[in-house]
Amino acid sequence: MNGRVKRVFANLAEEVDAILLINDAEPNIDQSFFYVTGLESGLFEGCFVILWPDGSLDLFSSKLEETSARSVFEGVRIFDKAADRERMLRESLKGVKRLGLNGAAITLRSLREIKKAVPEIEEVDVWKALERARLVKDDDEIARIREACKIASDVAEEIPDFLTTGMTEYEAAAEIAYRMQKKGATSPSFDPNASFGANSAEPHHVPTNRKLSRGDCALFDFGAKYRRYCSDITRTFFSGKPNEDLEEMYSIVLEAQKAAIRMMRAGVKAKDIDVCARSIIDATRFRGRFIHSIGHAIGLSVHDGGRIAAEESFALEENMILTVEPGIYVPGIGGIRIEDDVRITASGCELLTTAPKEMMVI
Ligand SMILES: [Mn+2]
């Protein structure tokens, strides 16, 4: 794992003597903690890790995760009470003047505990270096995301087999979660979204007891988590023949998504991908109805930093893994979104979610 710690230091904008990643209680757990340690199981509430510029790290774990921690780090130090933890923080940070912290994940409570243990330390926010390091995936991360994508994609392919009129949104969402775990997912990567009819016009709709009727579109946005790594896929189907608006929306979204994927390769600017898809949609009568950015990085989190949006100037690099998800949303009628996960390569990109996406009437 030293390679990952080195990557973090290599991405720093200013020097620090050490970096401390500290977890609070669930859900305030820093995913970068798992990036640098590679730990797969355990919650690691209250645990912390110190990263050193030479690529080494010191892990401090509560008793609750001792077995998991020891299986990876023989030298892990175990704390029991809060006083132990405070003493370990003080002793291990001796001599550190500038300490890097993850401003995007640390809680105020943890920060105050650190200040109490080492009051003289100067803190430096290194969240950007952590995000940049995590954007480009290594082989182990790619293998895990590939499996997470395969699980979600296989379930997406099964939706037409189990979706029936009269089924509620939450039943469909439950079925998706169940099938992903049956296929080996650790858990869903977020609560599955099933949106029927006009409900699909809201991109982040939460499943209700609305039943599927003929003529509805049915949008499903979900992902699997596999050994801590996430996938994210969206497919939209039709129950019975859709009205003309929905059918036209579908073909435009599909065209925009394919065009965006075609231009993805190392060196291309993220914003140009967004502009490409948006210009296709905005050239139609659905101008302005694509109301979010076209994608984001996935990894230990579903939104793993690095948005592909009009204001993002970063260039795509080999082994970034990103979603591509244009959509059109018309209040009162419905929404269409098609989302895939792709890995950037030198000459193009590899599609990791391969479920069919041509228009399908169930
Ligand atoms: Mn997404």
* Contact criterion met (CB below 8 Å) for 232 and 193: no
pLDDT of residue 306: 85
pLDDT of residue 12: 98
Per-residue pLDDT tens for 206-255?
A: 999 999 999 999 999 999 999 999 999 999 999 999 999 999 999 999 99
The answer to whether the 2-135 and 139-351 domains have the same CATH topology is: no
Q: Return the bridge partners of 349, or none.
A: 344
Q: What's the CA-to-centroid distance between 188 and ligand 1, angstroms?
A: 13
Place of tokens 């059109």: 328
Indicate the domain borders of the chain: 2-135, 139-351
Q: What's the CA-to-centroid distance between 339 and ligand 1, angstroms?
A: 7
pLDDT of residue 2: 77
pLDDT of residue 32: 97
Distance CA 127, CA 106 (A): 10
Place of tokens 């599927």: 212
pLDDT score of 177 more than 70: yes
DSSP 56-121: -EEEEEEGGGHHHHHHH-TT-EEE-SHHHHHHHHHHHTTT--EEEE-TTT--HHHHHHHHHHSTTP
pLDDT of residue 151: 98
Length of the chain as a residue count: 362
pLDDT of residue 48: 97
Q: What's the CA-to-centroid distance between 233 and ligand 1, angstroms?
A: 7
Mean pLDDT of 42-52: 95
Mean pLDDT of 291-309: 94
Q: What's the CA-to-centroid distance between 326 and ligand 1, angstroms?
A: 10
Q: What's the CA-to-centroid distance between 295 and ligand 1, angstroms?
A: 6
Mean pLDDT of 257-284: 97
* Contact criterion met (CB below 8 Å) for 110 and 31: no
pLDDT of residue 1: 52
Mean pLDDT (the chain, rounded): 96
- What backbone phi and psi angles, to 5 degrees, belong to 214? -65, 140
Architecture of domain 139-351: Alpha-Beta Complex (3.90)
Q: What's the CA-to-centroid distance between 232 and ligand 1, angstroms?
A: 5
CATH number of 2-135: 3.40.350.10
Q: What's the CA-to-centroid distance between 86 and ligand 1, angstroms?
A: 39
Peptide bond into 27 cis (omega under 30): yes
Mean pLDDT of 46-72: 94
Q: What percent of the chain has pLDDT over 90?
A: 94
pLDDT of residue 313: 84
Residues 6+ apart with CB under 8 A from 297: 134, 135, 303, 304, 305, 306, 307, 320, 321, 322, 323
Q: What's the CA-to-centroid distance between 94 and ligand 1, angstroms?
A: 42
Q: 66: which 2 tokens?
A: 């001792």
- What backbone phi and psi angles, to 5 degrees, belong to 351? -80, 120
Q: What's the CA-to-centroid distance between 152 and ligand 1, angstroms?
A: 13
DSSP 153-200: HHHHHHHHHH--TT-BHHHHHHHHHHHHHHTT-SEESS--EEEEGGGG
Q: What's the CA-to-centroid distance between 296 and ligand 1, angstroms?
A: 7
pLDDT of residue 63: 92
Per-residue pLDDT tens for 276-289?
A: 999 999 999 999 99
